[in-house]
Structure 1
Amino acid sequence: MTNLRTLHFYATPEHDCSYLQDREAKTLFVDPQAIIAKDTYSQLSDLGFRRSGRHIYRPHCNDCQACISVRIPSTEFQPSRSQKRVLSKNSDIKIRVVTPQFNQEYYELYSRYISSRHADGDMYPPSAEQFNSFLVDGDQESCFIEMRGPDNSLMAIAVTDYLENGLSAIYTFYDPDDTRRSLGTFAILAQIRHACHIGLPYVYLGYWVRECRKMSYKIAFRPSELLLDGHWVTIK
């Protein structure tokens, strides 16, 4: 089994940044052939790595440190007034934790979400192959946190990895036509509750970029911790 000392890493050539216009980015990948145990994956997450399908990566840009890893201490989290309103608006949602899988209901929601919210991105157009490679395939312990309305309609799914010390929020997709419920925020709140329920101290939210408005929601959960110069720093 591979550990941090024996892992090999590979850097990509420079490419267009996904977050900031007119910027070039580089990405550092863990050897995709390596077998990554849960403890090693957890250590990598503490160092700012993320997972996408079978790939574990982090930004590795030459002259930019804009991407900052964020995690929420689940047991210390205190919802804001607006987050309490989101919880209240969604008190009728039923939550179920299931094994990652492809089915037509999940895929149709995913396809609608990508087509409505990310038609200008590199995930468009959606496909069943993309769904499987991005959200189902992978060597890590993972789950789908399924959220259904009172009529049993599928509202949202949060794709989540289990770490030794927390949950890693991989991706969330939800009904793009329902703007009242703030389903993206509710999905994070649901993951925080799940972490508390199973006794895990953190929820890792991925990268926050100050200059990217789409990322601003990630530091609306307080307290949060930011990975700065290799150390997790609390912001309240």
Structure 2
Amino acid sequence: MKLEQKNGRDLFNLYVLLAYFAILFPFFLSQKYIRDAVGKLTKLPSINQIDKTHLTKFYHISHIYLDKAHSNIRFVSKISGKNNANLTFTAYVAVPIYEYPIPPPLWASLPTRESTHSDGPLLSNIPLNYFVPKAWLGWQRSLRIRNRQPDAVKDSVFRSFIKETYLNFKNDKIYGFDYLQKAGLSKENENFNLGIRNVYYAKKPIILIPKYNLFEKRGDVYLLCTILSFCIGSIIWFLILIPVKLKEDKLAS
């Protein structure tokens, strides 16, 4: 069956395309809602109780110390957009999480790292499980600029971004989050891992992302956007159908 106007113009493909987009956006948003909403909250007395073999998605940890002084930072640039129009600088900072502050004298007495292991450096004569955190907190900042600028301008912006990132991280108290979400498989998680492996011997580091909204309200924004986008898309699609006059003989065929 073909949907045609009286002038013979075929509208079937147009309406299929509009219906596709009306469904696509709610579907995309619903996946984000499922990603953020599904999962239980695991409450731990300290970070030392985290179980690497039975990891959950969300955590609330009672006793926590963020060792900002020994954080690992990695700067990444990425070109995106139509015709590579955008250039984005991102700072990935992995903050070691301990139960209590590590005594400074022990950190000061650390020997020089030795690359005697194929997977990374080892700290000789020091118990690794004492210094290597059970998990890291993921902190990041981004800046997007136009890519069609002279290299000197982009270099200047990047240097300013580095300075601002260090200042923001230094002044950010970080502790104001409501719960922590374990980072999944993503490019962001990979960048955190690369920064960590430059300093620590950790094959599969656990990255926890701070969340500043109530746990009970997680995903509410995506749920609302999913419902609104579906309603708006459906209304627009049916409104477009109203003024179209179709050939009766084509509809009967």
Q: TM-score, with normalisation over the residues of structure 2?
A: 0.21
> Counting helix residues as a fraction of each chain, which structure ranks higher?
2
Q: Which of 1 and 2 has higher RCO (CA within 8 Å, sep 6+)? A: 2
- Higher share of residues assigned strand: 1
Higher Rg of the two aligned structures: 2
